[in-house]
Amino acid sequence: MQKVKIKESVFVKYIDNTQIMKAISDVAHTITNDYKDSPSAPIMLITLSGAMPFATYLGQELGVDAQWAFVKCSSYGCSMKSGELKINMATTIPLEGRDVIVIEDIIDTGKTWVKLHDYCLENGANSVKIATLSIKRDVYKQDLNVDYVALDIVDKFVVGFGLDYDQYGRNLKHIYKLDSQE
């Protein structure tokens, strides 16, 4: 599909699934090389709900063992820009002394990444890195390193492959951008 309608908005195909899958495979191979000699498996801390598709395919491509855990964040307000970030569901796997890789669907301003980085360190993680499906480098405002990036995207409203519009569109296999955005 070249266009999809979600609620009242029309989105056009922006990144094809073939390109997405290749980018995920590349990230998985980099993580595999970085952790192949590690004495213990890293914890993959998956942010709900958007990172699930990325985490699924990333995990299938990884060449090292890993433990999987989940975390859920939200903000007080309609968007991350307006609200204070809060961790709603803490991980059930102890992070103390472990290497953690946060799995995220998208990084824009980076507020969620900073909050999760600090959360992991406060809970005793040995090291904390991040793997993200996508990043909007033009709006990323943090000094914290972004370790593994599958796709660099422009600062546009996007849906698909876990990215949503009011919880809709996560199931789309391609990434789409809002039609009115050039």
Catalytic residues: 108
Please tell me the predicted confidence (pLDDT) of residue 168: 95
Is there a contact between 103 and 133 (Cβ–Cβ < 8 Å)? Answer: no
Give the number of other Cβ atoms within 10 Å of residue 98's Cβ. 21
Domains of the chain, earliest start first:
16-153 (3.40.50.2020)
Tokens of 75: 């903000």
At 139, which helix (H) or strand (E)? none
For 28-93, strand residue ranges (E) read: 43-48, 67-75, 85-89
For the chain, strand residue ranges (E) read: 3-6, 9-15, 43-48, 67-75, 85-89, 99-107, 127-135, 148-152, 158-159, 175-178
Predicted structure pTM score? 0.91
Q: What is the pLDDT of residues 6-54, one digit of tens each?
A: 999 999 999 999 999 999 999 999 999 999 999 889 999 999 889 999 9
Is there a contact between 95 and 70 (Cβ–Cβ < 8 Å)? Answer: no
Residue 161 reports pLDDT greater than 70: yes
